[in-house]
Amino acid sequence: MNLEAIESEIEANVPGCRLVLIANPSPSGQHSLLLDAGHAMAVAIYLRDAASLRFDFCSNVTGIDWPAKELSEKVKVKKLVDGVEQEVEEVRKTTTPGSLEVVYHLFSIEKKLGPLVLRMSTGDRDANVHLPSLTPVWRSAELQEREIFDLFGVVFDGHPDLRRLLMWDEFQDHPMRRDYVDPDDYEYEPTAHDEVLRRANQHLSEGGGR
């Protein structure tokens, strides 16, 4: 399967769409296509319906949490030192914003192609967590998008039944995020589990509660 050819075909047939081919240096060599949310539905429909492709089956959908990162870089700058301009080295720090990513694995049963790996990314991890649901194109994505909504917090616009799948409705957090902190007691009542009970008692003795 020639991913570059598929990329070019999509861009030629979906007006305004621009894809990014992300190389995978691992032994699997399973490269992927990153698409923008604004054209995701049009791209999905084209992949499913184009006679040359017929990606009619979505086998797997998963989420990834990319927290913000602080990067340090040594740069050389010119400064006045005792009245003399000298080139000195200083460390500059920059922060890359975090994001949530959704990855779809597609197959063409008719053409015996795949997997084709599609990726979409949110604007950030907090204020902009919306992505279009691809369930209207591939119905097999329905429960998997619900799971990602539940565990990562991605809101899939257009999903036919977006609600928690594994956690209860009143649960306030997303357990698969990297900064998630376990509650002292999942059931919010005394437990016979020694480690959980120890943590709960310690937390209560410090005046906390969750």
Query: What's 173's DSSP letter?
Result: S
77 three-class SS:
strand
In this predicted structure, the answer to whether residue 187 has a pLDDT above a threshold of 80 is no
List the domains of the chain with CATH numbers: 3-65+99-166 (3.30.460.80), 180-210 (no CATH)
Read off the pLDDT of each residue in 77-82 and give the average, rounded to a whole number: 75
H or E stretch at 203: helix 194-205
Q: In Å, how far are 87, 132, 173, 174 from 179, measured between CA atoms?
A: 40, 25, 10, 9
In this predicted structure, the answer to whether residue 7 has a pLDDT above a threshold of 90 is yes
pLDDT score recorded for residue 192: 59
Predicted confidence band at 29 (pLDDT cuts at 50, 70, 90)? confident
pLDDT score recorded for residue 205: 83
In this predicted structure, the answer to whether residue 22 has a pLDDT above a threshold of 90 is yes
User: With a threshold of 0.85, does the pTM exceed it?
Assistant: no
